[in-house]
Amino acid sequence: MDVSPAQNEAINLARARGLRNRDSSDLSVWQKAMTLLVYTKADFEHPPKWIEYVAKKLPRDQVRIRRDWDRFLKFCSVVALWQSFGRKMPVDISFKDYCVAYRLLEPVFASTLLSLRAQKDVVSGAVGKLYKRRQRAVTAREVAEELGWKKAVVYKHLKRAAKNHLVEYEHGTRERNVKPVLPIDQCVGQFLPSPQKVLKRHPELGEKVKYVDPLSGKWKAVHQ
């Protein structure tokens, strides 16, 4: 999203100059598309099990995630209805629908997390750098030394990062309650797990799934 002062000024000027004649040449196409968004009582009563995996991978430390997740599922349902034109069976969200919705909405939802997760991302980023350098789990003391922070502050943000699926504690007990942490392969600011991760976690979906990219209109493939 363009948040520059120049863009702000351009938007303000456009509003000051009043409404222009709108191009309604494709209005009939949009109206036809809207007529396809009709569901029956039996639709969406049997969601696939892999959606539970996605739900478990969402960030968990912000209340707003509940609202964003609900919006995403509703959009998946819309995509499912659009792609089930002429259907004879009840409609449920498919993995292809997830791929389409992910392509459109992941950047939007992920961008809202950047400011909320700033300090946790700094800590998880340090964990990732130290792990790459030392090839082992790292301690809060080592992270504190890397960042120049107090250890108590690092402890607090490591707990939040773990809840947010950015790092994970190494299994097993340690002396003096030391809990080394490991990085999790997750992009900073990510809201949803990528289709590739979902496919890898649920091989019953197949080794390769093809869907139409909603931005280019071309076929794309997701591989395990």
pLDDT at 35: 83
pLDDT at 68: 92
Write out residues in the chain with pLDDT < 70, as ranges.
1, 61, 112-120, 173-177, 185-189
pLDDT at 120: 64
Query: At CB < 8 A and 24+ separation, what contacts does 32-38 make?
Result: 33/82, 36/81, 36/82, 36/85, 37/78, 37/81, 37/82, 38/81
Torsion 91-93-99-101 (CA) sign: positive
d(CA 128, CA 135): 10
Secondary structure class of 172 (helix, strand, coil)? coil
118-183 CATH fold:
Arc Repressor Mutant, subunit A (1.10.10)
pLDDT at 79: 93
- Give the residue extent of every domain in the chain: 41-115+190-223, 118-183
Residues 202-219 have pLDDT tens digits of 999 999 999 999 989 999
pLDDT at 188: 46
DSSP state of 149: -
pLDDT at 38: 83
Q: If you compute the radius of gyration of the chain from its CA atoms, what whole number of angstroms results?
A: 22
User: Helices 140-147 and 151-163: crossing angle, nearest 10°?
Assistant: 110
